[in-house]
Structure 1
Amino acid sequence: MSTSAYPSRLPSLFVSHGSPMIALETTPAAFFLDRLGPAIERLWGRPRAVLMCSPHSPARQPLVLGAARHSAIHDFGGFPAELYQLRYDALGEPLVAQEAAELIKAAGLGGWVTETSGLDHGLWTVLRRMWPDAGVPVVPLALVPSRSPAEQWALGAALAPLAEQGVLIIGSGAATHHLGRYPWGRDASQEPVAPDVRAWQDWIAARVQERDWPALLDYRRRAPEAALQHPTDEHWLPFYIAAGAGSAGRVAGSEIVGQRLHASVDAGVLAMDAYAFGAGAAELAKELA
């Protein structure tokens, strides 16, 4: 446990949320999220707030939800009734929302605050596993899916100062997201991992370990079977917001540290990898090992 209220910088995170059923599932990815919140608390205490981005709340400009309270939105259909009965009611943090919008605006990237409330399933299903008691205030950030990986990185870098103030920045998305390949109507738990999915996971992990950020920013051309893993890239773009936030405001360079925290695959095609970036990334990985 840190002797100060907050470390010099909290790491930023990218997590894969997969299906909304992760709120109920007994999968490796779900169990990882169960351990992630407590691991962060053991090292640094509870965050002041979580600033979290999800592709399920898209916008044309960066939009920060500054409501005083939030609750779960069941923005999906066709799942078991038990899932729709789950709630997640959390406080917001309007001051952090305002600070975030000002940082984004100062970087020339737009940035607006709205009093709109609500947590889409890319947010609350993850947070419900990390902090079941909903004891950490949440500040949702809408994703701008039209912006490039480099622009997402710049957005994350603009938010980096918040990590020095006890704010945990999380990008929630999916390491792979091609739902057309999902084995609908079959027992997904019995599906073997597709070789191209494993190749993608290995390529991303290697580039992160080597700090080859230029290759990662140019993943569409350089990564193996990139279009097969992400026909559209909105679920992968939060990775770059998290990486940028872990860069302490610097441009992508070899000094920026990233660490894979988790790797698994659901239904043979949905990679559920998670990463930490910047200060504390290695320490968090060790705590989770």
Structure 2
Amino acid sequence: MSRLPSLYISHGSPMTALHPGQVGVRLAELARDLPTPRAIVIASAHWLARQPLVGNHPQPPTLHDFGGFPRELFALQYPAPGDPALAEEVAGRIAAAGLPVALDPQRGLDHGAWVPLRLLHPQADIPVVPVSIQPMLGPQHQFALGRALAPLREQGVLLIGSGSITHNLHDWGHYQDGKQAPYVRPFIDWVEQRLAANDRDALFDYRRQAPFAERAHPTDEHLLPLYFAMGAAGEGGFGAKRIDAGVDAGFLAMDLYRFDGEDRAQDAA
């Protein structure tokens, strides 16, 4: 079975489900380029917990975890099956890495999971296992979580971190007519450069080293899934490839990343 990359997806606002724009095009292209996974494990910025939790619901409900949006958005469903056996394996691998973990038989798919998955695999026929993010534990913890699950890529499991490469909701509505927040481009360029250099130490320390880090991310939760995807790339280089999907509302950079690990890094050398 072909080894899959890990992915980081900027999922945007819930309205991306109704108006996919450029990110919808890019995710459809990714789906065509990649082998069809046997299952998906996704760590979303909208499932926050004090320790890793793994959803093992056999049919995860679609969670409409937002308000103030059009009624047609609340009517959307993503009826992908769960995979309790894979969830048990995910939890076992996390525990074997020395991280506390628990199963959650009630958890469904929040919009950080189902919105991008509807664009990537609209048939909803691939089993999905959600994993929580731990904002209090920082980037290195999320990296370790992804690293623990990296071997699943050899088994046809697609590992995804879903967040946003920039995410400052205080700027909602401040940038109109094609204008862009001044921090967006410097921040995303810095991330791209540090990933290309496999500079995990700088990325772990992004709060001090990245330009406009506090503006780009007043809180960490939407960048932490990037570290999950980085860790899931496995040992050695990240093999990171940035996929530009534009900027939504002038402040939400919709970058996607695929991490192919050592093979892509060696090919590029």
Category of TM-score, reference length = shorter chain: over 0.9
Post-superposition offset of 1:38: 2.5
SS at match of 2:129: strand
**3-state SS in 1 of match to 2:131:** strand
Q: 2:195 touches 2:238 (CA, 8 Å); kept in 1?
A: no
d(CA) in 2 for partners of 1:281, 1:90: 31
Give 1:173 deviation, angstroms: 0.3
Deviation at 1:226, TM superposition (A): 0.2
* Among candidates 36, 49, 56, match of residue 46 of structure 2: 56
Asked if residue 15 in structure 1 is aligned to residue 2 in structure 2, the reply is no
Matches within 5 A, 1:1-289: 6-7=1-2, 9-40=3-34, 44=35, 46-183=36-173, 188=176, 190-246=177-233, 248=234, 250=235, 255-279=237-261
What is the rounded CA distance, in whole Å, between the counterparts of 1:140 and 1:16 in structure 2?
16
CA RMSD of aligned residues (A): 1.8
Residue type at the aligned position of 2:78: Y
Cα pair 1:10 1:280 within 8 Å, conserved: no
| Ranges in structure 2 where 5+ consecutive residues have no aligned partner | none
| TM-score, normalising length: structure 2 | 0.93
Deviation at 1:206, TM superposition (A): 1.1
Q: Percent identity between the aligned chains?
A: 48
Instruction: Report if the CA contact (8 A) 1:50-1:167 is conserved.
Output: yes
Shift of 1:196: 1.5
Match of 1:286 in 2: none
Which amino acid counterpart does residue 244 of structure 1 have in structure 2?
Answer: G
- The alpha-carbon deviation at position 96 of structure 1 amounts to 0.9
**How far apart, in 2, do the equivalents of 1:113 and 1:234 lie?**
21
SS in 2 for 1:50: strand
Q: Unaligned stretches of 5+ in structure 1?
A: 1-5, 284-289
Distance verdict in 2 for CA 1:22–1:146, change over 3 Å: same
